[in-house]
Amino acid sequence: MTTILRKMCDLRLQRCTKELRVIIDSKLTFEDHITEKVNKAYSVLGIIKRNFEHIGKDAFVLLYKSMVRSHLEFSNSAWSPYRIGLTEKIETVQKRATKLVQSCKDLAYSKRHSLRHSYT
């Protein structure tokens, strides 16, 4: 009985915890989770950039859907970015990703964005 009470007294307040690969903070902002997923997406984009120098639109869409978007959308029903700053972080990854396609590199983002949506 005393060991149970001792364990209960050892409880500490944590700023965040990771459950089912989703980082949950004490204020439920999911900022740490989104930051981790954005960083992972950037690292995958770096791998794509180093290995596919001249990538076509079709190959880009296939790689983007399978390797990048899956990280950005992981468990999004739980954290759904409602804050403008977090949404912009995710949008920045998508802006950088569309610049990897040689034929779209010099287009304005609004054109690249529409091309990405026509394929996805």
Residues of the chain with pLDDT under 70: 1-13, 77-79, 81, 113-120
Q: How much is the pLDDT for 40?
A: 94
Output the pTM of the full model.
Answer: 0.74
pLDDT score for 4: 57
Amino acid at 78: A
Per-residue pLDDT, 42: 95
CA separation (Å) from 84 to 16, 50, 53, 70, 88?
21, 31, 33, 21, 6
Helix axes 31-51, 84-98, angle to 10 degrees: 0
